[in-house]
Amino acid sequence: MRLFYTILMVTLLSWGGDINSSDNNLTNKNLQEQMKREAKYAKEKAFYHGKEYNLSETEIDPNTLSNIPTITPDYDFDMDDVYSDIQ
């Protein structure tokens, strides 16, 4: 009878080790995914703050804006033609 209990305990303990190792694997996998998301967020944050980027080359000279003609909007917008096939 003692042998049966000993075998039972060893079996249960070995199954518990497998469960813990699979939990650790799942935890490590989730941790790696979260670390990737955090790295992506840090990269996007650096972009949006613009600390590493020199955008002075793309600046527009305000004096050149006066050469662009003003476009007046066409306020004659009628949606009746869009629904003309519906009776």
Task: Read off the pLDDT of each residue in 4-21 and give the average, rounded to a whole number.
Answer: 66
Domain spans of the chain, in order of start: 25-50
How far is the C-alpha of 35 from the C-alpha of 42, rounded, in Å?
Answer: 10
Q: What integer is the mean pLDDT of 7-28?
A: 70
pLDDT given for residue 20 in this prediction:
62
**Cα distances (Å, whole numbers) of residue 46 to 32, 33, 37, 43, 70:** 21, 20, 14, 5, 37
Half-sphere exposure of 33 (CA within 13 A, CB side): 6
pLDDT digits (tens, 9 = 90+) for 20-54: 677 778 888 888 899 899 888 888 887 777 666 77
Tally the C-alpha atoms within 13 A of residue 13's C-alpha that lie toward its C-beta: 6
Q: What is the pLDDT of residues 65-84, one digit of tens each?
A: 888 888 887 777 777 777 77
